[in-house]
Every structure is written in structure tokens, then in C-alpha cells.
Amino acid sequence: MPNPITRRDILRRTGAAALALARPAVSRAASAPTAPVAVTRCRTYSPAELVPALQETFDRIGGLGRMVKGKTVAIKLNFNGGPTVRLGHHTLGDSHWPHPNLVCAAMQLMTNAGARRIRLLECAGRDPNEPFEEHFLAANWNPADFARCGPRVEFENTNFMGRPKKFVRFPVPGGGLLYPAYDLNHSYADCDVFVTIAKYKDHPTTGVTLVMKNLFGMTPTLVYGERAREHEKQGSVPGSRMEMMHYGQGEPAYGAPGELDPASPRDDGYRLPRIIADLCAARPVHLSIVDGIKTMAGAQTPDPWCTLVNPGVLMAGTNVVTTAAVAVAAMNYDPRATRGAVPFAECDNKLLLAEQIGVGTCDLSRIEVIGPSVRQVMFDFRDLREKRRAELKRLFPKRHKYGAFRNEA
């Protein structure tokens, strides 16, 4: 069990968080770090086109060698929705998971640049006694394809403690927006380089899901799942994080600290953006990779009203917020939009929150784009969102509170 945070620690961090969101918020946003974002055209996942395009993308931000040579690289995958959830008959890599060819290409280029070890990480809803590779097999992905991409490739289901038999505590600098710290699997700490890879996608609760939202998937359901403390006593595994993380019902298990203000809104449009911003600060990202070659518009997880699209673009950056900001803009959304404006119709803007606590800027005027401009690679997710909204309104006049019918305004 991690060393507990004392009441004094919580009070100190609560005060820091309050200060960060009060007077210094504007100044911290103005001084939030920036970093270039590389943009490259790529229309297919054919290795003949993909590998040179990805190499060019990495070269545009200084190359991989300076980042990964001789180091352990942890790659947070984005396997939302489970391995058997599909958009019609399309493969997961074409619709909502980062494509396996892209993951393998990134791993191979890291190996070529001297990476010593690569770990593939995700919180997968599987039996704790099953190897993480089973999740790949269930998606019709061959784990051997990934294992061949480096001299030492490891797979870890970060829903559980792993070999150390304990979680690692990640305090949020400045005290946190929702929790003062998050307890995560050891692999998020036992690495020299942390990478997030995700597709362009809309999201029903946080507006868009990209390289920042991917970090929400680090939180283990063992700690943050529904009725987690009951499951801890019974030695069982909780299910969805929705009850606790979305709606603030229940307390984290295994000694993880509770939220800073139990009286704060129980609205997921308030909570999730803050959790995501917290996680981006607590577990800094060294490399963000955006898969915009093929994806789907309309939601995070496939439903009958999603649309398969082919924006044909790759992006990468060394700051997770700047990379997300350029990607959001390339989806024809405003990365600085406030709550009530598309795509953040029913939620706070996680990019602005991360900017306010000093993770990175989402001000496009401060971000250098290397390669084609945002306008040149823009794909109109906003238009598809409006068509989806109109169709759902016609079919379901009384919108459901959550899921496919949420956040369509």
C-alpha cells in the first residue's frame, strides 16, 4: 500500500489548488509551457506509407534518439470499449483503437532509435489471472507482432498492482483540481519515457477524446471502480469507474486519497475534465501521438450513428496539451471554447483546465505547427456532429442523460 497522505498534506494541497484556480490562474495560463507539434499527411496504414510518414513526424520534433536511447518506454494504449465492440464490420484499428500497424511502427522506430525496453499499457477489463496479451487476441491482434518490434517488449494490464503488489502514488503538482493524488500501476512510474497514443474522436462527456483523455484510462478500477471498497474487502474486482469517477459516488480503495472537496458538483461534465487535467500534471507525458489516419466521428465508443472517416493525418508532440490543441483545431473545433460551446457543450474544457495548472498551452498563437497547417489538414467533425445531433433528435426526442445521446448540442 502506498504511504498515506496525512491530513496536513491534504490541507496544504487543497490550499495550493485553491490558489492555482484563483489569482494565479491567468498568469499560469499565460506562462504555461509550449512545444512544437508535427503534422504529416498519411492516408493509409500500409507500412510502405506509414513508416516513412511516422519517421518524418518524429524528425520534425527533434527525432526519437534524444528521447528514447537506452531507456524504458511506456506506451499508454487507448483500448476503450472492449475488444469485441465494433463499428459495423470495420476493424477496431480503423474506427476507435489506435491502429496496430501504427503502434508497431512507433515501437520499431523507437527500437531503431535505441530504446532498451518498451512496455504496452492499458487498464483492461479482464480476469487478473489472465495475461494482458489475451486482450489483444480477443481483438484479433497477434501479440507476437508487437513482441517482435523490440528486444524487450512487455505487456501489462494496469488495472492491477502487478509484480510489486502495490500501487504507486502520483501527487498532482499544486494540490490537484479534484484529487490530491492518484494511485496507479507501477509501470507508469517505472519508465523513463511516457507515451500516449490515441485517435481523433468525439466524446459524449468531455467533448473530444485524444491524447489527454487517454490518461483517464490509467486509473485502475481496483481503486476507482464502483463500490471499490466493498470489492477490496471481498477480494473481488470492481467494474466500471462511472459511479465514482463520473458521479462522485463512493471512495477510492486500497488507501488511495479521497477527493479534495466532497461538496463539489457530482456532474461528470465538471469532474472528468478535472481528473484528466490532474492526471496530465501528475504523470507528465513525453510524447503524444495522434492517429488521425482513419477514425470515427460521433462518439468515443462505436454506436450505430457513428461515421467512419479518413482524415489522413498523423501528429506528434512533446507536450500533451499543445498536441491535443492542434488536433482539436484540426477537427474544426475551438480548443479554447468554454463550457456551452461545441464541442464542450455540457462540460468544462479539459485543455483550459490543464493550461491553468501549468501543463501546457492550448493557445494556437503560441504553438508552432511543423508541416502542413491546421487549415490544410482540417477535417470537419463539427459538421458530422451536427448531422448526428439532428438524427438523434429525430429518432429520440427525449435525449438520454448519458452515452450516445449526451453532449450532442
Residues sharing a CB contact under 8 Å with residue 77, sequence separation 6 or more, in sequence order:
97, 98, 103, 120, 121, 122, 197
Q: How far is CA 298 from CA 51, 108, 149, 200, 331, in A?
A: 28, 32, 33, 11, 12
Sign, Cα dihedral of 150, 152, 155, 158 = negative
pLDDT, residue 54, reads 98
Average pLDDT of 256-265?
97
- Among the listed residues 116, 115, 101, the one whose alpha carbon sits nearest the alpha carbon of residue 47: 101
Q: What is the pLDDT of residues 225-246, one digit of tens each?
A: 999 999 999 999 988 999 999 9
Residue type at 263 in one-letter notation? A
- Among the listed residues 293, 331, 296, the one whose alpha carbon sits nearest the alpha carbon of residue 313: 293
How buried is residue 340: exposed, middle or buried, by Cβ count under 10 Å (0-12/13-18/19+)?
exposed
Residue 406 has pLDDT above 80, yes or no: no
Integer Cα distance of 352 and 3 in angstroms: 32
Q: Provide the 8-state DSSP code for 80.
A: T
Query: By percentage, how much of the chain surpasses pLDDT 70?
Result: 90
The three cell numbers of residue 350 are: 479539459
The three cell numbers of residue 389 are: 445531433
The three cell numbers of residue 299 are: 462518439
The three cell numbers of residue 46 are: 500500409
pLDDT, residue 393, reads 81
Asked if 384 and 297 count as a contact pair (C-beta separation under 8 A), the reply is: yes
Asked if 90 and 308 count as a contact pair (C-beta separation under 8 A), the reply is: yes
pLDDT, residue 306, reads 92
pLDDT bin (cut points 50, 70, 90) of residue 18 is very low
Q: What is the pLDDT of residues 48-107, one digit of tens each?
A: 999 999 999 999 999 999 999 999 999 999 999 889 999 999 999 999 999 999 999 999
pLDDT, residue 399, reads 63
Angle (CA) 315 321 327, round 5°: 35
Average pLDDT value for the chain: 91
Average pLDDT of 146-171?
97
Integer Cα distance of 57 and 102 in angstroms: 12
Q: What is the DSSP string of 362-374?
A: --GGG--EESS-H
